[in-house]
Chain A
């Protein structure tokens, strides 16, 4: 008890000291905290009641666009990541030399943020939702391919050995030995990334890549708080509905219906 308590106290003090250093280093205006909170409540007050300024139709369509962007990106990434993920797996491509660039490419695609990808694609394909779709696709491509490679490498070896003993070639042993094992998990991951895409898609509009973020950032810029509140409520509603549907689909999938 004593030793564990001592250790806890030491860690607590270290965290406290580092926190104080961080606040000092960043020059956090802690005195501005009080007035800021007051101002925040003022803003919250100005959000009531939420209204749409007669543009509810436009807002709802931009939400549909957001969901469409997320879905299109999920489908594209889900299809494209499949062969890439297989090629990145040691079971399928034993040569480390061939696999390494692919794995690193996936890592880079993942570690660049969606907003940055969106800026790049706005440059390439112009303003609009397509740039957002491509940005989401790049991120998901990296993540899904990596996850698939790992699932394949962790799949049980038994079926593959059986097939090879029966004279199957490499392609056949992958097709009938590994794919049936990894497909359900892969589909479930793709669905999960659909949920995550919806969240990301809501903000891509800030850099002009389509979706409801276009209006959200615009209304924030002109401090139109009532319409901001409407947009945030619409986002909340959509995210909740999509999460519920996708969770239901994933559960059904896991139960194998």
Chain B
């Protein structure tokens, strides 16, 4: 009975989302042609990366947008996590408010934030940085408040007993305990944000994503594959670097 219900739900989801093997079957060749069209022919290999100077500069911009977004977002998230963690929050309602804010910030996709910020701050990297920061704040704030809820109460209690106020107890009792976890989450978030920042470029916040979107829209086929290759390589390199750094933090 439960199996039948599950199968019915899955079948319904296929029907609603218009899954159709024959459309995929007839469409795949055209997708194949498209992908093949973006690849350089043998004679054109030399000119394929013609724009590499410009693209590397844009890629660097993308990485910087991700860096600033991660830095601002993780600091804001760390700050809010002390209010959101149930065991150390200075007040019950402050805790509820902080948790709702973090939830909102991490549930709304960064692309939606970016679309709103572009209207408020104009086209350009500022909207991208703020959108990434807001989303990172939600994710890191949640992770750090989980870490705080698993800290040892001893150091905090000791500090409070010897007359420290809430801020001092957090700064010297709780923060050192979650610092390694916080750094490692922030690095991981940086990896995520490099990917995200190459995509929010689609809506005009600059960086390599914008260039890619223009190439796709204007059917400059070979530029599409050249830029995608550069992005994939950069993302892979940053993942490796950050994984190495995270392993060092863990050790």
Q: Which residues of A contact B30 (CB under 8 A)?
A: 123-124
Q: Would you give the shortest CB distance from B195 to chain A, in whole angstroms?
A: 6
Across the interface, which residues of A come within 8 angstroms of B71, CB to CB?
15, 19
Judge whether B17 and A220 touch: CB under 8 Å: no
| B115–A132 touching, CB < 8 Å | no
**Which residues of chain A from 115 to 146 have a CB within 8 Å of any chain B CB?**
115-116, 119-121, 123-126, 128-130, 132-134
Q: Which of A6-57 contact B (CB under 8 A)?
A: 15, 18-19, 22-23, 25-29, 32-33, 36-37, 39-40, 43
The segment out of A63-71, A80-88, A89-97, A149-157 that lies at the interface is A63-71
**Are B17 and A28 in contact, with the CB atoms below 8 A?**
no
Contact with B64, one of A25, A37, A125, A217 (Cβ below 8 angstroms): A25
Interface residues of A in 235-249 (CB under 8 A from B): 235-236, 239-240
Please determine whether A68 and B24 come into contact, CB atoms closer than 8 angstroms. Answer: no
Q: Interface residues of B, CB < 8 Å — how many?
A: 56
The answer to whether B195 touches A124 (Cβ under 8 A) is no
Contacts of A181 in B (CB 8 A): none
CB-contacts of B220-237 with A (<8 A): 228, 232, 235-236
Tell me if B13 and A112 are in contact (CB < 8 A). Answer: no
B104 touches A216 (CB 8 A): no
Give the nearest-CB partner of A239 in chain B.
B107
**Candidates B28, B121, B212; contact of A124 at CB < 8 Å:** B28
B67 touches A43 (CB 8 A): no
Q: Which of A163-171, A185-193, A199-207 contacts B (4 or more CB under 8 A)?
A: A199-207
A interface secondary structure, majority: helix
Complex Cα–Cα for A140 and B17 (A): 17
If A68-B16, A119-B216 touch, whether A125 touches B109 (CB-CB below 8 Å) is: no
Inter-chain contact total with CB atoms closer than 8 Å: 156
Q: Determine whether the beta carbon of A108 is less than 8 Å from that of B232.
A: yes
Given A71-B13, A236-B108, the answer on whether A129 and B65 have CB atoms closer than 8 Å is: no
Q: Are B126 and A129 in contact (CB under 8 A)?
A: no
B119 touches which of A26, A32, A223 (Cβ 8 Å): A223
Would you call B8 an interface residue if the criterion is a C-beta within 8 Å of the partner chain's C-beta atoms?
Answer: no
Max chain A CB contacts within 10 Å: which of B9, B34, B67, B126? B126
Q: Is A161 located at the chain interface by the 8 A CB criterion?
A: no
Check if A179 is an interface residue, CB within 8 A of chain B. no
Asked whether, in the complex, the Cβ of B236 is within 8 Å of the Cβ of A23, the reply is: no
Query: Are the C-beta atoms of A232 and B16 separated by less than 8 Å?
Result: no
A141 CA / B212 CA spacing, docked (Å): 24
Q: Shortest beta-carbon distance, A242 to chain B, in Å?
A: 11
Q: Are B31 and A120 in contact (CB under 8 A)?
A: yes
Q: Given A19-B71, A130-B19, A232-B112 in contact, is the A72-B104 Cβ separation under 8 Å?
A: no
Given A18-B67, A71-B9, A113-B195, do A64 and B16 touch, yes or no (CB 8 Å)? yes
Sampled A-B contacts (18; CB under 8 Å): A18-B67, A25-B60, A25-B61, A25-B64, A26-B64, A36-B120, A43-B116, A65-B17, A68-B14, A68-B15, A68-B16, A124-B24, A199-B107, A202-B109, A203-B112, A216-B112, A220-B115, A236-B104
A residues apposed to B, CB below 8 Å: 15, 18-19, 22-23, 25-29, 32-33, 36-37, 39-40, 43, 64-65, 67-69, 71-72, 75-76, 107-108, 111-113, 115-116, 119-121, 123-126, 128-130, 132-134, 199-200, 202-203, 206, 210, 216-217, 220, 223, 228, 232, 235-236, 239-240
